[in-house]
Amino acid sequence: MKIFLIGMPGSGKTTIAKNLAKDLGYQYIDLDGLIEKEALMFIEEIFENYGEKKFRLLESDALRNLPETGDYVIACGGGVVTVKKNKELMNGIKFYLDTEIDVIKKRLESDYHRPLLKIKTLEQLFDERYFQYQDFADAVVSNNYDVEMTVKVIKNFMKMR
């Protein structure tokens, strides 16, 4: 079983994925980390040297090359939903971590700078992607406050399925 976490940059995908994988006994995969490993450069370098279009191709390739069997929780990049075919490549349950913009801003204060946030605001990204997140998601989970509560909600959803 694969569980994919999607959402805005700073929505908590990595944190929730690590905690959820540990609780479920699944393996954790950071999709951006896979891309960096394969490309032998950081995401920011890929954007700077080759642009967003090349990065999105690498992202789709990473999804295509995920293990076919096994139990995984995959933290996806915030823009994975911008390529419609990625939805078909995400063979598993997709959770959209719906997080308020003010919460995201606070989380990103001490975070590294995301490539797209150099040219767009969080509000612009949210407006562009909100309906794409909704379209991709099998379920929407709020992640505004407590990591443990978000993990518990996802685990409860999994039990009911």
Would you kindly state where each structural domain of the chain is located, as residue ranges? 2-160
Class of 2-160 in CATH: alpha beta
**CA 27 to CA 11: how far, in whole Å?**
20
The model's pLDDT over 86-110, given as tens digits with 9 standing for 90+, comes to 999 999 999 999 999 888 888 777 6
**CA 53 to CA 13: how far, in whole Å?**
22
- Do the Cβ atoms of 52 and 82 come closer than 8 Å? no
Count the neighbouring beta carbons within 10 Å of the beta carbon of residue 144.
15
Confidence at residue 110, expressed as pLDDT on a 0 to 100 scale: 67
The model's pLDDT over 26-62, given as tens digits with 9 standing for 90+, comes to 999 999 999 999 999 999 899 999 999 999 999 999 9
Confidence at residue 119, expressed as pLDDT on a 0 to 100 scale: 73
Pairing mode, strands 93-98 and 2-6? parallel
Confidence at residue 114, expressed as pLDDT on a 0 to 100 scale: 65
Confidence at residue 115, expressed as pLDDT on a 0 to 100 scale: 66
70, 73, 77, 78 alpha-carbon torsion, rounded to 10°: 140
- Do the Cβ atoms of 81 and 6 come closer than 8 Å? yes
The beta-strand segments (E) located in 76-138 are 93-98
Counting residues of the chain whose pLDDT is more than 90, the rounded percentage is 75
Confidence at residue 159, expressed as pLDDT on a 0 to 100 scale: 87
